[in-house]
C-alpha cells in the first residue's frame, strides 16, 4: 500500500509553495479531503493551544481549544454547504504520547462539529511498515495529493506533490480500506484519552 510515496517520489514543494498549492486545490470543486496521520509528535506552528501545551499549561491548552469552537464550527458549516467531507485516519501508538493526548482533545472538538475521524492502532498496520512507516498523506478529491515533509524539529517543511489520476485513485482506495478498519473517534477518546491526567511535557 502507498507504494507511490516510496523512494522520495513526487514534486518537492517548500512550505509556502505547498500551502499555496493546497489552498488553490482546496478552493476548487472537490468533495473529499482525506488525511492519514502517522507521526506521534509534531510542533504545531501558529497554534496558541499547542504553545500552551508545550509550555506545560495543560488547562490553558484545553481552554484555547474550546475558545476556537465558533471558528471551527463555521469552517465545517462551510464544508457542509459546499458538499465537502473531511475524513481523517489517525494512527496511534501506545502508550499515547503527550502530543497525541493534546491533539486528540483538539480532534474531539472537530469531531463534534463535522470532521469524520477514525483511529487505528499502529499494531494493525505492522505488516505495512516492515520497511518504513506509512507516509503522512493528504488527498484533495481526485485532483492532487501530498506526502507531507517535516524538518528535524518536527515542524511542517513542505510536501511532495502528486497529480497522476491513477495514483490518486489507488491511494484513495487504500485510504478507505484502512479507514474502514479504524475505530470511531468518540469511542476511542472516551476509553483511551478521557481518563488520562495532564500529560508531562519534556
Can you give the pLDDT of all 202 residues of the chain as single tens digits? 788 888 788 999 999 999 999 999 999 999 999 999 999 999 998 999 999 999 999 999 999 999 999 999 999 999 999 999 999 999 999 999 999 999 999 999 999 999 999 999 999 999 999 988 999 999 999 999 999 999 888 889 999 999 999 999 999 999 999 999 999 999 999 999 999 999 998 7
**Adjacency order of strands within the sheet including 183-184:** 11-14, 156-162, 144-150, 137-140, 32-37, 85-92, 116-121, 183-184
What CATH architecture does domain 3-193 belong to?
2-Layer Sandwich (3.30)
**pLDDT at site 3:** 87
Spell 128-156 as b/e; 16+ CB within 10 A means b: eeeeeebbbbbbbbeebbbbbbeeeeeeb
Domain boundaries, the chain: 3-193
Q: Which three cell numbers stand for residue 95?
A: 502508550
How close are the terminal C-alpha atoms of the chain, in Å? Answer: 35
Residue 88 pairs with which residues in a beta bridge? 35, 117
* Angle CA 63–67–70, to nearest 5: 155
Cα 153 from Cα 157, distance rounded (Å)? 10
Confidence (pTM): 0.95
Residue 27's nearest CA partner among 141, 191, 129, 193 is 141
Cα 114 from Cα 88, distance rounded (Å)? 11
Cα 105 from Cα 159, distance rounded (Å)? 26
Residue 150 pairs with which residues in a beta bridge? 156
Amino acid at each position: 500500500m502507498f507504494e507511490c510515496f516510496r523512494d522520495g517520489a513526487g514534486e518537492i514543494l517548500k512550505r509556502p509553495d505547498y500551502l499555496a498549492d493546497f489552498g488553490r486545490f482546496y478552493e476548487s470543486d472537490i468533495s473529499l479531503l482525506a488525511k492519514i496521520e502517522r507521526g506521534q509528535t509534531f510542533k504545531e506552528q501558529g497554534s496558541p493551544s499547542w504553545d500552551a501545551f508545550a509550555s506545560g499549561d495543560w488547562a490553558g491548552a484545553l481552554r484555547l481549544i474550546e475558545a476556537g469552537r465558533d471558528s471551527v464550527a463555521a469552517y465545517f458549516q462551510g464544508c457542509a454547504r459546499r458538499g465537502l467531507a473531511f475524513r481523517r485516519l489517525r494512527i496511534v501508538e501506545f502508550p499515547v504520547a503527550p502530543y497525541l493526548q493534546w491533539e486528540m482533545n483538539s480532534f474531539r472538538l472537530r469531531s463534534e462539529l463535522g470532521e469524520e475521524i477514525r483511529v487505528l492502532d499502529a499494531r494493525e498496520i505492522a505488516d505495512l511498515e516492515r520497511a518504513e512507516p506509512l507516509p503522512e498523506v493528504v488527498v484533495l478529491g481526485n485532483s492532487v495529493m501530498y506526502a507531507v515533509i517535516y524538518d528535524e524539529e518536527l515542524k511542517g517543511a513542505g510536501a511532495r506533490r502528486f497529480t497522476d489520476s491513477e495514483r490518486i485513485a489507488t491511494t484513495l482506495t487504500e485510504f478507505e480500506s484502512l479507514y474502514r478498519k479504524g475505530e470511531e473517534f468518540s469511542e476511542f477518546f472516551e476509553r483511551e484519552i478521557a481518563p488520562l491526567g495532564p500529560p508531562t511535557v519534556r
